[in-house]
Amino acid sequence: MTSPFEQLIPFLYTPDLEQTSRFYARTLGLPLVRDQGTCRIFRVAPSAYLGFCTHLDSPRPTGIILTLVSDDVDDWYKRLISLGVEFIKPPTHNAQYRIYHCFFKDPNGYLLEIQRFDQPLE
């Protein structure tokens, strides 16, 4: 069965849209696809996007994990370390979930994970 939806765009609060935009565009290399003034939308994958807005209520960034799936976890780790990103957890294998992953935070305090599934979802 295919999904009834065509795209996904989670919108998260940011107090500093410029700093957040630099991080997602320059550090992670995500293309900016829409600048709406108080919101910016970045492409994460062909039909997956991530938006940041300054006008939303400011929820605390706890309980949210933004997971970026890539076969190149180690390469991402090395690249981001070279750009000054501080990691909470270096790449490790998690046998319980059958993933290989690492964790760091964005400028807003949102927890980001780069992971590779031992067995891809599709």
Do 102 and 46 share a structural domain? Answer: no
The DSSP 8-state label assigned to residue 8 in this structure reads B
Same domain for 74 and 111, yes or no, is yes
CA–CA separation, 103 vs 87, rounded Å?
6
In a domain, 66, yes or no: yes
Residues 67 and 55 in one domain: no
Do both 99 and 50 map to the same domain? no
Does residue 27 share a domain with residue 38? yes
Whole-number pLDDT of residue 14: 94
Predicted local distance difference test score (pLDDT) of residue 75? 98
Q: Does residue 12 belong to any structural domain of this protein?
A: yes
Global confidence as pTM: 0.91
The tens digit of pLDDT for each residue in 52-64 reads 999 987 777 788 9
For the chain, list residues with pLDDT below 50. none
CATH number of the CATH domain containing 36: 3.30.720.120
Sign of CA dihedral 61, 64, 65, 68: negative
| Structural domain containing residue 14 | 7-59
* Residues 24 and 64 grouped into a single domain: no
Token pair of 58 as six digits: 């400011």
| CATH code of the domain in which 102 resides | 3.10.180.10
Q: Give the integer Cα–Cα distance in Å for 28 and 85.
A: 10
pLDDT at 1: 64
71 φ, ψ (degrees, to nearest 5):
-75, -15
**Alpha-carbon dihedral sign for residues 84, 107, 21, 102:** positive
73 domain-assigned = yes
User: Of 41, 60, 39, which is closest to residue 49 (Cα–Cα)?
Assistant: 41
What's residue 28's pLDDT? 97
